[in-house]
Structure formats: structure tokens, C-alpha cells
Amino acid sequence: MEAKTLNRESWLSAAFSALAEGGVEQVRVEVLAKRLKVTKGSFYWHFRDRMELVEAMLEGWKVGRIEAIKMQTRLDGWAPADRLRDVLSLYGGTSNPRGMAIELAMRDWARRDPRAAEIVAEVDRERLRCVSDLFAGMGLTADEAFARAYLFYSFIFGEGLLARSAAPDRFEKARDICGRVLVPGDAEG
Amino acid sequence: MEAKTLNRESWLSAAFSALAEGGVEQVRVEVLAKRLKVTKGSFYWHFRDRMELVEAMLEGWKVGRIEAIKMQTRLDGWAPADRLRDVLSLYGGTSNPRGMAIELAMRDWARRDPRAAEIVAEVDRERLRCVSDLFAGMGLTADEAFARAYLFYSFIFGEGLLARSAAPDRFEKARDICGRVLVPGDAEG
DNA sequence: TGTTGTCGGTACGCCACCGTATGGCCCGGG
DNA sequence: CCCGGGCCATACGGTGGCGTACCGACAACA
């Protein structure tokens, strides 16, 4: 019961899937077309060229991620530490593998494309600011809060990079301990 | 004064440069040939095909990294904490950007190629084992030591992923604080 | 001086991808 | 009925990469 005519969103969605699976290099017009069961004639109706697609991806990802982090760190009467634990569990481990794949692909992309680098930089700034504020809300100084946020995000993305081969319970336990180190506090017995 | 005839090492070296700069996708026969100022006729003399090159890269990277981590964590009368701080400074920040670029490219590669994934997994196992032993040498239990090693490496690689835009002193200070959190101890005034 | 082996150049066919030009289909408004 | 626009198919030229077949330069060596 899918819509019988595609639009920009259809192509963007397919593009993000390709990005997650194979990096920017794999978001190719004819490949996406095949996956959408149309020809590229459709693509070049909705987009001027491939560059317009990838720039739409950058912009869409940016606003989506910034909106998400603002939601996730807004404390409506919650304790900062609890919010931090929430964010950690949202990105951590094997939950939301697609989201993590896109994150990593985005960052690999940023390593060689200045436009992507600028987008990732903006998102990172916002994220560091948000969780830095949470740490500051726990009584840390500005410098310490920023350092904690830096450690926090480095761990999250680095974890997605580390090979998770065999012994899953071992990693499970490790992540548990890491969580307690990253966001101090007595909770979470 | 370069050798006037190329060999496998020449191609491998160029291949790792291309890998660092643009990921696996950029290690292409004709591109490397152009950079080495020869034609691909040379390449196909030293290698059967492109796959033989990339497999040589995987193997070479593996043995090199395993050898390196064993060196860097062997304590010849050194304190475990000092060795940990050494490793951290070796990979951290902006020192050795080429090495970090290769690390990240390798891991991005591993996300879509099972052979690369296996290689990275082997290296990671060895690294986690080595620094885990160091943490254990500081009196931690096996579980805690492994968790610390996990946090340690996640931070190192995650840090390479985080956008480092503007305010370098801010990040410098943060990494300093992170170092003290990652490897506890009173040293390093 | 002829022979053999090492190393690289030249030229070709193949394929995947990009972007364009153009034509066809279908559907609503007049 | 027809017609105009939204949406897609078809077909084409161009480019860049892979791998192969074959040729040439050059050194060692007998």
C-alpha cells in the first residue's frame, strides 16, 4: 500500500539506508533507483544532481540530530544524572544499530568532505553543550563538565567502533561499569 | 635517491596513504600508479589483482598493530599507570594523525567487509587483553580491569571521531581531565 | 653476444556510474 | 475531447576504474 509515486523523502530515506550500510560512496543514483524499483529518470526529476541529494542529507541529518539532543537533554523535573543515563542507553550497545551506523558513516564522510565536517562539527557543538549543561547541573565546574561531556561522547562513538566479537556478556558487564564511571552517582543499583 | 625499481612495499605504503586519506574506496590501482609515477603495468607485476593488495594491507596492519601494542604495554620495571599514560598520549589528540586516520579507515572498512572485521577484531582482542592486564596490575578485579580497558579504547577511538572545531585549548584541557579519569592515580601533576 | 628474468609501458575490452535528452503515460481542468 | 503538467522510462555519450595481452628496456650472466 505504498504511495505509487515517489518524492524527495523516498529518495532521502533510501539514501540514508545506503549510507548506513556502505558509507557515502554507496549512495549512488542508479543503485538507489534499483532499490526503489524505478529508473534514475525519477531521481533527476526530484533532484538536480547527486550533490543536491547529499546536501539534503547533510541538512536533514543536522536538524534531526540537533532537535533530538535538545529533546533528550531537556529536564522536565528530571534529575540530570537520569537524563544522562537515558542518552547513554539510547546510543549505547546494540540498541538502534541503524542510528549508530549513520553516525559513524557521517563521521567517516566528514573526514574527507569539508561540508560534512562542518555539519558534524555543528551537531557536536550542540551535543557537547547540552550534556555539558547536564553535568554542570550536577555541580561540576564548567571545565570539568565539558571534559565529562567530551569523555561521554567519545565513549559513545568509540564504543560503536570497537569490534564486538564473541563474549557478549563480557562486554555487557563492561558497559555497565563504564556507565557508572561516565555518569557518577549512586543510582542504578 | 629513491630506489629506481618498485616492490610490494612501495605499493603497500602508497596504499596505506590512500587508505588514510580516503578510506578503502580510495585505494585504487590506477590512482596509486599515478601517485607512484608509474603505470598499472607495474602493479600487476607485483600483485595478482587489487584483492591481493588489500589482503596484504590487512595482514600487514594486523601484525604491525599487535607487535606495537605488545611493545607499548610491556612493563620493564615501569609502573602500569605510567605505561597506560604513555599509550594514551601515543594515540591521543593530534599526535600521529596518520596512524589515527588509518585506524578509523580500518574500522570503517570493517563495518562492511567481514575479512576486515575479523582482522580488527583480532587486533582489538589483543589490545584489550594487554591494557586489561595493566589495569589488573593496578589492583583491579578482572571485570573492572576489562571494563577500564574497554572505556580506555572507546575513548581513544571516539576522540578521533569527535569534531575538533575551534577552541583547541578547551579540548586540550578536557583531554587532560579525561586522562586522569581514565587512568586513576595521583601522578602527572 | 645471445639469453633469460625482472620490471614497467601500451592498448584493449569490460563494467558501473553520472548526467542529459527526449519521449511516453496518466490524471485533472477546461 | 484534448491538453498541460507531474512523474517516470529509454537511450545515449562520457568518465574512471579493473584486469589482460602483449611489447620493450635493461641488467646479469654465461
Percent of chain A clearing pLDDT 90 (strictly above): 87
Architecture of domain B1-47: Orthogonal Bundle (1.10)
Mean pLDDT over all residues of chain B? 94
The set of cell numbers assigned to B53 is: 593488495
Q: A114 CA, D7 C1': separation in Å?
A: 34
The pLDDT assigned to B2 comes to 56
Give the confidence band of B175 by pLDDT, cuts at 50, 70, 90. very high
CB A33 within 8 A of CB B123: no
Alpha helix (H) ranges present in B37-187? 40-46, 50-73, 80-91, 97-110, 114-136, 142-161, 168-182
* B36 or A184, higher pLDDT: B36
Nucleotide closest to B33 measured between CA and C1': C8
CB contact B153 to A (< 8 Å): yes
* B74 or A4, higher pLDDT: B74
From chain A, pick out residues whose CB is under 8 angstroms from the CB of B176.
147
| A103-112, A127-136, A170-179, B165-174: least confidently modelled range | B165-174
Place of cell 523535573: A77
Give the confidence band of B3 by pLDDT, cuts at 50, 70, 90. low
Write the pLDDT tens digit of every residue in A139-154: 999 999 999 999 999 9
| A78-87, B1-10, B105-114, B148-157: least confidently modelled range | B1-10
The pLDDT assigned to A188 comes to 46
In this predicted structure, the answer to whether residue B114 has a pLDDT above a threshold of 80 is yes
Of residues A105, A155, A163, nearest to B151 (C-beta): A155
Question: Which residues make Cβ contacts (< 8 Å) with residue A17, sequence separation at least 6?
Answer: A35
CA B18 to chain centre: 15
Q: What are the extents of the domains in chain B?
A: 1-47, 58-182
Question: Which residues make Cβ contacts (< 8 Å) with residue A35, sequence separation at least 6?
Answer: A14, A17, A18
In this predicted structure, the answer to whether residue B130 has a pLDDT above a threshold of 50 is yes
In this predicted structure, the answer to whether residue B188 has a pLDDT above a threshold of 60 is no
Q: Residues whose CB falls within 7 A of nucleic chain C?
A: A 28-31, 40-41, 44, 48-51; B 5-7, 33, 37-42, 44-46
In this predicted structure, the answer to whether residue B24 has a pLDDT above a threshold of 90 is yes
The pLDDT assigned to A187 comes to 53
Q: A47 CA, C29 C1': separation in Å?
A: 28
